[in-house]
Structure 1
Amino acid sequence: MKTISILPHLALFVALAMCSQQADKIYHIEGTTVERSAYSCLKEFTGEKEGKFFTEQLIRDLANGNEITPDHYEPAQQYKFHWKENGVIHFIGFEAMQTASELHIQQNQAQAQNSNPLIDYAKMTYRDKTPEEQLRLNRLLDEQLDKSEEPSASSTSDKSLQENVTAMETMAYVPLESGTDYAVYNRKSFSLYVVLGDALLTLNAQVGPYGSVDESRSIELAKKLADKLSELCN
Structure 2
Amino acid sequence: MREQFPFFKAHPELVYLDTAATSQKPQVLLDAIQNYYVNDNANVHRGLYKLAYDTTEAYENVRQQVAGFLGAASADEIIFTRGTTDSLNLVASAYGPQVVTAGSQIVVTGAEHHSNFIPWQQLAKRQQATFTVTPVKPDGTVDIAALLAAITPQTKVVAVAQVTNVAGDTLPIAKIAAKAHAVGAVVVVDGAQAVAHLAVDVQAMGADFYAFSGHKIYGPTGIGVLYGR
Question: What TM-score, normalized by structure 2, do the two folds share?
Answer: 0.24
Give the number of the structure with larger relative contact order, counting CA–CA contacts within 8 Å between residues 6 or more apart: 1
Question: What TM-score, normalized by structure 1, do the two folds share?
Answer: 0.23
